[in-house]
Amino acid sequence: MELLDKMPDHSSAGGIVEQRILRLEERFDRMESGAGGPLPMVHPAWPFLLGLLALGFGYLGLGLPQHYYQLLFALLLVVLLYHRQFLVRPKGGWHWPQVLLNFLLIALLFKLLIGGGIASPFEWLKMPVISRMPPPEGGSWYGKMVPDYTIQWQGIPRFSEWALDVTKIQTLLLIATLAGTLFRFQPFTSLTALALLLISIPTYLNFNWDWVILFLILGSVSVYIQSRASIPPRT
């Protein structure tokens, strides 16, 4: 009998383990259901005001969109975000103003990505041209007999005036990079992303990055507040 008393009670130990498992499951259920104190809903005015500030900073740092590609891609992305319900539609009268503001913010984002515009890469290439200066009226006989020449630097016709649409090249590289990412073709994605960065460096140097950084930060916060990731789960 004493040996039987000293043997561990497996039934009681198993019951303790089951109770602990049930407690853990209850805690996980509370965490998933938000019963532990969900955060209050954010008023729609907050993402709108942050978006307005970001829009002002983006205008100071980037300027206005100068190519219709930027507006077209911004429109498509806004429609996709709301169609896939990544962004929550605010109730009341905040819906359409917020949609318009998001469209403008994304248009400025595409201005940052594909804002090269029209560039003349060989505008600096010029050649010297000797031209004859007309003699001044009422001058001396020497000035009339001996012409005066001057050297002027002029661009090479059809070569210095050649223009390149950098935005179209950036757009092709951006689409190729996204396609390579979608199909998980890492070498191709790395090459196209590097080419996009290199061709965009002259454009990036023209931006005021003090304002661009503020635009990116406030715009990201505004979009995050509107996203479903920031909404607490229902109890």
How do residues 91-112 score in pLDDT, each as one tens digit?
Answer: 778 889 999 999 999 999 999 9
Q: 182-226 pLDDT, tens per residue? A: 888 889 999 999 999 999 999 999 999 999 999 999 999 999 999
pLDDT given for residue 146 in this prediction: 66
Backbone angles phi, psi at 118, to 5 degrees: -95, 130
How many C-alpha atoms does 166 have within 13 Å on its Cβ side? 22
| Residue after which a domain boundary falls, among 155, 175, 206 | 155
Please check whether residues 171 and 212 belong to one and the same domain.
Answer: yes
- Residue 97 forms part of a structural domain: yes
pLDDT at residue 37, rounded to an integer: 41
pLDDT higher than 50, residue 19? yes
Cα 145 vs. chain centroid, distance in angstroms? 66
Which residue range is the domain that position 107 belongs to? 45-120+163-230
How many structural domains comprise the chain?
Answer: 2
Do residues 81 and 95 share a domain? Answer: yes
Contact 179, 196 (CB under 8 A): no
Q: Which DSSP string corresponds to the chain?
A: -HHHHHS--HHHHHHHHHHHHHHHHHHHHHHHHTTT-PPPPPPTHHHHHHHHHHHHHHHHHH-S--SHHHHHHHHHHHHHHHHTT-BPPPSGGGHHHHHHHHHHHHHHHHHHHS---EE-TTTT-EEEEEEEEPPPTT--HHHHHS-EEEEEEEEPTTTTT--EEHHHHHHHHHHHHHHHHHTT-HHHHHHHHHHHHHHHHHHHTTS-HHHHHHHHHHHHHHHHHHBGGGSPPP-
Q: Is 171 part of any domain?
A: yes
Do 184 and 226 share a domain, yes or no?
Answer: yes
Give the global pTM: 0.70
pLDDT reported for residue 163: 80
Same domain for 170 and 141: no
Residue 66 has pLDDT above 70, yes or no: yes
Higher pLDDT, 148 or 205: 205
In a domain, 13, yes or no: no
Residue 222 lies in a domain: yes
Report the candidate in 100, 54, 58 with the shortest Cα–Cα distance to residue 79.
Answer: 100
Does 10 fall in a domain? no
Residue 29 included in any domain: no
Q: Are residues 138 and 195 both part of a single domain? A: no
The domain boundary residue, chosen from 134, 155, 176: 155
For residue 222, the model assigns a pLDDT of: 94
Residue 16 maps to a domain: no
Closest CA to 231 of 53, 37, 42: 42
Same domain (yes/no): 77, 115: yes
Higher pLDDT, 168 or 149: 168
Q: Are residue 168 and residue 147 in the same domain, yes or no?
A: no
Shared-domain flag, residues 57 and 95:
yes
Q: Identify whether residues 137 and 226 lie together within a single domain.
A: no
Single-letter amino acid, residue 189: T
* pLDDT > 50? residue 38: no
Whether residue 133 is found in the same domain as residue 110? no
- Are 151 and 209 members of one domain? no
* Two tokens, residue 64: 């206005």
Residues 114 and 140 in one domain: no
Measured torsion, CA atoms of residues 42, 47, 112, 168, in degrees rounded to the nearest 10: 90
The answer to the question of residue 26 being in a domain is no
